[in-house]
Amino acid sequence: MKIALGADHGGFNYKNKIKEYLSSIGVEVVDAGTFSADSCDYPEIAQKVGNFVVSGEVEKGILVCGTGIGMSIAANKIKGIRAALCSDTFSARLTRQHNNSNVLCLGERVTGEGLMLDIVKIWLETPFSNEERHLRRINSIE
């Protein structure tokens, strides 16, 4: 599996932790930045990760900012992106099963590190249900 990963300065620490975790389970990471804790603009990073996903270069994307909100707003502007902001494992599971979300957004200032890594794990491991009603709803968004 190949994942595009991006963060602004508000999510920079978690990006490094997620990268470490993904590497430890054999997931290939395309790092879309940012590459320092200096202030930067989250829309540019969201666009990079979203484009990696819609181009098919990677299977899914993960975006982190302070709240996860800016990243999710920006990523969801890209056609074909279904970005889910998650701060609990139930939502992480359900957004894969029901929404077939292809980008996970996280808030470093909101979610503790242990929970955040559980969310990443569950989101990556949970397949889309492929149920007709969910496909219909997703197609209706597109």
Nearest CA among 71, 101, 59, 79 for reference residue 6:
71
Per CB under 6 A, contacts with ligand RB5 among 22-41 are none
Binding of ligand RB5 by 45 (CB under 6 A):
no
Q: Closest distance between ligand RB5 and the C-beta of residue 95, in Å? A: 19
Q: Which stretch binds ligand RB5 (CB under 6 A): 30-38, 67-75, 87-95, 111-119?
A: 67-75
Rounded Cα distance between 71 and 8, Å, is 9
Instruction: Report the candidate in 120, 52, 47, 127 with the shortest Cα–Cα distance to residue 88.
Output: 120
- Among 5, 70, 83, 111, the residue binding ligand RB5 under the rule CB under 6 A is 70
Distance CA 69, CA 39 (A): 17
65 is catalytic: yes
| Residue of 30, 2, 28, 25 whose CA lies nearest to 121 | 25
Closest approach, Cβ 34 to ligand RB5, in A, equals 10
103 makes contact with ligand RB5 (CB under 6 A):
no
Exactly one of 40, 65, 105, 134 is catalytic; name it: 65
Residue 69 interacting with ligand RB5 (CB under 6 A):
yes
Q: Is 86 a catalytic residue?
A: no
Instruction: Indicate which single residue of 3, 12, 14, 42 sits in contact with ligand RB5 (rule: CB under 6 A).
Output: 42
Q: Is 8 in the site for ligand RB5 (CB under 6 A)?
A: yes
- In angstroms, the Cα distances linking 43 to 19, 30, 32, 102, 118 are 20, 17, 12, 17, 26
